[in-house]
Amino acid sequence: MIEWIGQHNGALIAIATIAYTFFSGLMWWSMRQSLELTRNSFEETQRPHVGVGLIKSSLEASSGRFKFELELVNAGSVPARELRTEWTAKIGGSQRPRITPLERMTILPNRSISYGETIDNLDVQNVMRGTTHLEIQVDLVYKGRGNREYRTTQSVYFNHLTQLLSYGDSMFS
């Protein structure tokens, strides 16, 4: 047996080198996957999470003026930078023009900001009768520590303009 190994030592060394290289490549690939998973996990925990918190509303039925106030909450661990919002009001699926009320604001971690808007000339009669509903969709775009942009969309539905029916998307998407 020792004589056979001595005669074929070049081939055995080549086979061992190929096996060593193959398993080293597998270890490198596995470490790279582990590093990517760790990086993604870190980024998800060290980022802003902005969503709509409290919503207050009031209605002037005679003028059709609907006022609402949104509270934007950053439940993340870093500031939400360059926050931009757009909101759209829809009555029975009919969309009104998009409004961009806030531009490039910052919300610190575990803090909130509030802003209010007014929708004029709202056809409230059908909403008050319950034959249709009012939907307010809020789109949020913001950045965290780097330049990565995060987007959240939430919808709030009002029936009879007094009852908050449900949220659309979850608070953090």
Predicted confidence (pLDDT) per residue in 103-157, tens digit = 788 999 999 988 777 777 666 666 666 777 788 888 999 999 888 899 999 888 7
The answer to whether 46 and 77 have CB atoms below 8 angstroms apart is yes
**79 or 115, which is more confident:** 79
- Is 168 in a helix, a strand, or coil? coil
- Is 120 in a helix, a strand, or coil? coil
Provide the token pair at 95: 């969309």
> Which of 65-69, 90-94, 95-99 is predicted least confidently?
95-99
Task: Report pLDDT for 168.
Answer: 37
Q: Is the pLDDT of residue 171 over 50?
A: no
Residues contacting 17, CB < 8 A, separation 6+: none
- Rounded CA-CA distance 9/3 in Å is 10
